[in-house]
Every structure is written in structure tokens, then in C-alpha cells.
């Protein structure tokens, strides 16, 4: 494999798709050595096939707002790779959504889903629609219009969407409702559904809980545990909520959350009431965390800044891609942070990751740390297929086991001769090998 040549070709074909190119480069750099030990991969042009999505749907989504005005957005679904199972991955509604972002997310999802050990391919969808400030009725009309265009390409064994930024249980409910009306079937087809119509217990918690199970394993690698550790979390959405809940339950102290407006530092640590308030802030639709500081004396709001400047033991980026820059990473290293577990997808820039690895700070990538979300989505698909609902203990136990397996795979392929564990390399190689072998076995298609 010639990385420079592959990247030059991709850049020429997809100019300006910076997030997508960033995600591809990271994987190529990690798998190069293993790839070159397998001439059969090269012969089948596996890597060239793997970096391009199988297909992309792009469509206009037209809907009517509460004032009666017609609104237009762009909708997408990137069906990236179905070598190991039906296309599977979330839908993102955010003003920042571009094709580059959805392609990077779909690419990452392919390897993440492979790591879960469950049979799921990779996909991602979304729209530049911004839920901020929209009424419930507007959200519903938008969701319906999005699915009206896409539904023929979905199905329980074809492509199964879920939530992501801007898409939670409410949006999944509206999308699934429209899907089943059009498709005349009730087979699941979306995950993250409500518990009364085929949803799985623990799915809302799964990304954050799974991340903390992974963090516990990383701390074990460092011969320590989570009790009494201070944790910086960014974001204040579903993922941050699950991570804060589990970290607190395990005896850690979560001292930050953040939003687009800045971050909150709360030295007393989050508790159940504060975590509930975080949900209220999210549900308000205003996308700000500032009111937290008024509500809970002793906490401080830092406008326009990120939580990484605080000295803590553990950093958990839970917001969005590239939220940890090289300068942030330097601060984290200078603060002698024990470990960084990326819970957002590609939360760290390539330069930030280089900074962690060159300073031997344990760093694990989103595709390993946050895989618990899609793993429980896979379990939701199983429950739908057998028309049963499992109890919370069963789902949580399976989630825990899956996260331990992912951690083990990262260590197997990422352990360096000096003892440092490169979880990024491990995750990328383990995910890649599984997809590569499945593609090879299925011939040139």
C-alpha cells in the first residue's frame, strides 16, 4: 500500500472533504504494516474499495415551518460498507452537517461496528437541518419529510439508522412512525426506539456506559481504578449524560460539562440532580450550558472556552469531531492527565493524537470507546427479530462483555514493545482485519 498515492488520489477525487480524508489517513497509517503482509489484500484492491462508500443518497428535504413558510434542507444517507452485515449507523441533524462529515462518520462506523463483534455494516446519514429552536411540530414534519425520501433504501436487513447529534428518541420515533406507515411493516428498522415499540433497555445509556467500561479497562492497564478520579467531560447531550451518570456511579468526580457557549467547572462534582438538570438544559433546545452556573452555586461558567484547561485525571471528549486541538492536547499533557478516552467520533485532531502518543499519554479512539452505543443497537435488532424484549441486566451484561472484548482487541493489536498501548492502532487493525477478510471471502463486488 502506498499511502501517499492513495491519499493523493482521494484528495483529487474529493477535494476539500477534510474530515473524510482525515479519518481515512488515520486508518491507513495504522493498518499499513499489516496490509503489506497480505499480498492477497493488495491483489483484491481491498483498501481502494474500502475507503469509498458503496453508495450515497443525496436528496432535498422540503417541509413547512410553523409560520407556513416552505423550508429546504439537504438530506443524505451514506451506505459505506455492508461486508459483515446490514448497513448500520446513526443520523445527524445539525447545521454543520456536510457530506464530508457523514462520509467520515460512515467510514469510522464500518470499523467500529466490526469491533462490536456483531454482524453490522457501516453507514451514516443526516441533514444540515438545525433542531435548535424548532418546535416539536416542526421537528416532526422535518423527520417525516426526510424519511419520505429515504425509506425505500432502508429495512431491517438492508439499512438500519439510529440517532446521533440532534437525533434522539423523539426524532427516531417520528422517523420510524413514518417509515412503518410507508413500508407497511413493523420490523424495527430504526434503533433507539421507544421501549413500548421495539426499543431496547439501556440503549439511551449505552454509549456513555460502554465508554466508562472501556475507561475502567484502560485504568486497569495503568494498574489503578476509577474511584476518586476527577473527570473532565465535554458536551451535555445523550453521550455526556450516560458517561457522567456511570462515572459518578463508579465513584469518580465529574467536574466539567460544556456547550457551544463555553464550559461549566463544578469542583463539587456532578450528582443525580445536576445530571437531571443537564437533561433539562438539553431539552430546552437552546444549546447552552451557561444557566447551570446560576442554578448551582460554587460552579463557574467559562464563556467561549473548552474544559481541557482544567487539571483532571481523565479527559472524556463527548461533544463532536475535532473538539480537542493540538493546543488542547498540549494542555492535557502538561496537566499530567492519566488518560484520554475519546467518546465523540474523531474527537481529537490528528495533531492532538500525535501529541498524546509522543508523550505516552494513553489515548483511545472513539471507534473503540463509543462502540457501546451501536453495540446495544445491534442487540435491539436481535430483540426486534425475535419479537422479545430483554431485561436491563441482560443488555447491560452483554454491553459490558462487548466493551471488554473491544478493549482486549485494542491491546492485542496495539501493545508496543515498550509497554505503551496504542489503542488507536489496535482498534484500527482489529476492525480492518475483520472487514478485509469478509470482503475477500465475498469476491470482487
Q: Which residues bind ligand 2IT (CB under 6 A)?
A: 88-90, 109, 162, 164, 191, 345, 370, 373-374, 377
Nearer to ligand 2IT, 349 or 377 (CB): 377
Sign, CA torsion 202/205/206/209: negative
Nearer to ligand 2IT, 166 or 259 (CB): 166
Distance of alpha carbon 172 from alpha carbon 194, whole angstroms: 8
Q: For the CB of residue 188, give the shortest distance to ligand 2IT in the complex, in Å.
A: 12
Q: For the CB of residue 439, give the shortest distance to ligand 2IT in the complex, in Å.
A: 21
Q: For the CB of residue 85, give the shortest distance to ligand 2IT in the complex, in Å.
A: 12
Q: For the CB of residue 408, give the shortest distance to ligand 2IT in the complex, in Å.
A: 20
Taking CB atoms, the residue at the shortest distance from ligand 2IT is 90
Q: For the CB of residue 165, give the shortest distance to ligand 2IT in the complex, in Å.
A: 8
Nearer to ligand 2IT, 248 or 377 (CB): 377
Nearer to ligand 2IT, 122 or 262 (CB): 122
Nearer to ligand 2IT, 90 or 262 (CB): 90
* Active-site option among 88, 103, 112, 124: 124
Nearer to ligand 2IT, 255 or 379 (CB): 379
Q: For the CB of residue 375, give the shortest distance to ligand 2IT in the complex, in Å.
A: 8
Is 124 considered catalytic here? yes
Q: For the CB of residue 80, give the shortest distance to ligand 2IT in the complex, in Å.
A: 12
Nearer to ligand 2IT, 141 or 282 (CB): 282
Distance of alpha carbon 232 from alpha carbon 229, whole angstroms: 10
The catalytic residue positions are 124
Amino acid at each position: 500500500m502506498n499511502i501517499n498515492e492513495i491519499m493523493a488520489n482521494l484528495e483529487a477525487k474529493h477535494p476539500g472533504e477534510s474530515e473524510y480524508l482525515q479519518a481515512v489517513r488515520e486508518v491507513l497509517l495504522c493498518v499499513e504494516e499489516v496490509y503489506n503482509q497480505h499480498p492477497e489484500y493488495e491483489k483484491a484492491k481491498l483498501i481502494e474499495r474500502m475507503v469509498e462508500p458503496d453508495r450515497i443518497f443525496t436528496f432535498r428535504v422540503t417541509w413547512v415551518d410553523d409560520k407556513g413558510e416552505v423550508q429546504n434542507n439537504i438530506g443524505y444517507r451514506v451506505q459505506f460498507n455492508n461486508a459483515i452485515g446490514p448497513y448500520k449507523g446513526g443520523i445527524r441533524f445539525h447545521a454543520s452537517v456536510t457530506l464530508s462529515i457523514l462520509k467520515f462518520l460512515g467510514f469510522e462506523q464500518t470499523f467500529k461496528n466490526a469491533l462490536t463483534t456483531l454482524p453490522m455494516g457501516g453507514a451514516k446519514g443526516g441533514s444540515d437541518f438545525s433542531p435548535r429552536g424548532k418546535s416539536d411540530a416542526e421537528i416532526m414534519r422535518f423527520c417525516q419529510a426526510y424519511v419520505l425520501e429515504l425509506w425505500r433504501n432502508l429495512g431491517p436487513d438492508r439499512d438500519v439508522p439510529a440517532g446521533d447529534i440532534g437525533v434522539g428518541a423523539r426524532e427516531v420515533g417520528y422517523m420510524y412512525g413514518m417509515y412503518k406507515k410507508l413500508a407497511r411493516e413493523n420490523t424495527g428498522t430504526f434503533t433507539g426506539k421507544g421501549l413500548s415499540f421495539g426499543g431496547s433497555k439501556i440503549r439511551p445509556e449505552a454509549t456513555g456506559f460502554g465508554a466508562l467500561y472501556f475507561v475502567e479497562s484502560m485504568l486497569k492497564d495503568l494498574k489503578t481504578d476509577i474511584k476518586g478520579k476527577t473527570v473532565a467531560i465535554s458536551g451535555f447531550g445523550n453521550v455526556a449524560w450516560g458517561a457522567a451518570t456511570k462515572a459518578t456511579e463508579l465513584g469518580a468526580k465529574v467536574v466539567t460539562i460544556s456547550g457551544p457557549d463555553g464550559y461549566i467547572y463544578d469542583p463539587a462534582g456532578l450528582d443525580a440532580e445536576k445530571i437531571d438538570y443537564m437533561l433539562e438544559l438539553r431539552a430546552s433546545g437552546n444549546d447552552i450550558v451557561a444557566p447551570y452556573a446560576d442554578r448551582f452555586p460554587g460552579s463557574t461558567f467559562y464563556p467561549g472556552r473548552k474544559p481541557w484547561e482544567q487539571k483532571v485525571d481523565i479527559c472524556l471528549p463527548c461533544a463532536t469531531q475535532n473538539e480537542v486541538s493540538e493546543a488542547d492536547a498540549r494542555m492535557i499533557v502538561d496537566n499530567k492527565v492519566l488518560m484520554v478516552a475519546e467518546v465523540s467520533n474523531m474527537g481529537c485532531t490528528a495533531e492532538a493524537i500525535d501529541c498524546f502518543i509522543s508523550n505516552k499519554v494513553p489515548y483511545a479512539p472513539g471507534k473503540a470507546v463509543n462502540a457501546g452505543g451501536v453495540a446495544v443497537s445491534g442487540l435491539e435488532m436481535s430483540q426486534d427479530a425475535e419479537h422479545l424484549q430483554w431485561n436491563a441486566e441482560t443488555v447491560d451484561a452483554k454491553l459490558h462483555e462487548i466493551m471488554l472484548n473491544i478493549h482486549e482487541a485494542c491491546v492485542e493489536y496495539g501493545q508496543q514493545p515498550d509497554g505503551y498501548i496504542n489503542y488507536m492502532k489496535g482498534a484500527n487493525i482489529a476492525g480492518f482485519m475483520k472487514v478485509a477478510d469478509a470482503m475477500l471471502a465475498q469476491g470482487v463486488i
